[in-house]
Amino acid sequence: MAALSERWFSVWCWHYQPSGYTGGFTTQSDEHNLLPGPGVMIVHCGLTFLQPNSGLPFSAAIGVRSFGPTDGPAMDFGPIPMDWLPALSRPLGTLVMGFHVTRGDFKGWYYIQHWA
């Protein structure tokens, strides 16, 4: 197999800064509609910077929130970041990446490669 294409995405300084409110969180998603074809899509993600800004507890996450493979039923891992996948290798038609932060800032990245 050889890599046919690759695309990088950065989540640059996404943050949640409560003003007088110390509970709660923010979750955001990026949705991709991919052209189906031979081979598989490989997805990887990671966090590069974490900084709490209003006390503890602090948390941040990035991951595969849901996907629609071309060879089976769609999978949705829901809104809980602990359930999201850190990597994926499947023939994909759709992909939703999730980003989550509680009381802080983070920087993250993910990329999608097409292999055939």
Question: What is the CB neighbour count within 10 angstroms for residue 70?
Answer: 14
- Mean pLDDT for the stretch of residues 83-88: 95
Query: Domain containing 95: what range?
Result: 3-115
State how far the Cα of 114 lies from the Cα of 4, in Å rounded to an integer: 5
DSSP 34: P
pLDDT attached to residue 87? 96
Q: CATH number for the domain including 88?
A: 2.60.120
Report residue 57 CA to chain centroid gap: 21
Q: Which of 22, 43, 46, 54 is nearest to 91 (CA)?
A: 43
Confidence of residue 13 (pLDDT cuts 50, 70, 90): low
Mean pLDDT computed over every residue of the chain: 83
Residue 57 has pLDDT above 80, yes or no: no
Residue 20 has pLDDT above 60, yes or no: no
pLDDT attached to residue 110? 93
Total domains in the chain come to 1
pLDDT attached to residue 19? 53
Q: Which of 43, 11, 42 is nearest to 26 (CA)?
A: 11
DSSP 85: B
Question: pLDDT: is 58 or 85 the higher one?
Answer: 85
